[in-house]
Amino acid sequence: MEKHKDEFMREAIRLSVNNVEEGKGGPFGAVVVKDGKIIARGVNQVTISNDPTAHAEVVAIRNACIALNTFQLDGCEIYASCEPCPMCLGAIYWARPEKLFYANTKDDATAINFDDQFIYEEIARPIGERKLFTQQILRDEAQKAFRKWLESEHKVIY
């Protein structure tokens, strides 16, 4: 199995290198594997798509969910060329794969000016102390959707 892990990671790395060589985005690639086969690939598409959420892992998760026709990656493994940023890590947890493997570390990413430390620090701060102005408004009105969700017989639990 270790050999397969290396092959899957090499594909994620290959994608990251190609993305830089082709000038399509940052040096990040990811693959999603199920039953020993790659079912989806993703590369960083932030600048080419003008989408700040189009990180390699998110793109791979989206592609895998389309391929599997589901919103969860049960029984899947994700191979990322770099340790996921906070957004991608959140997406990975929501997708619920079985395993995550990565190559470069977040410190390696910091060394080439992809530094997520600011986000890690901001998440830990109380809302009123964050750099991004944040204020809660209209909670009572928003609760209507939550009540309807609780009462709904048509919801899909995830």
What backbone phi and psi angles, to 5 degrees, belong to 42?
-155, 145
CA dist 95 and 99 (Å) reads 11
User: Other CB atoms closer than 10 Å to residue 85's CB: what's the count?
Assistant: 21
Residue 22 falls in the annotated catalytic set: no
- Which residue is catalytic, options 11, 21, 22, 57? 57
The dihedral formed by the CA atoms of 100, 103, 107 and 110, expressed in degrees to the nearest 10: -100
CA dist 106 and 147 (Å) reads 40
H or E element at residue 24:
none
DSSP secondary structure letter of residue 83? P
- Active site members: 57
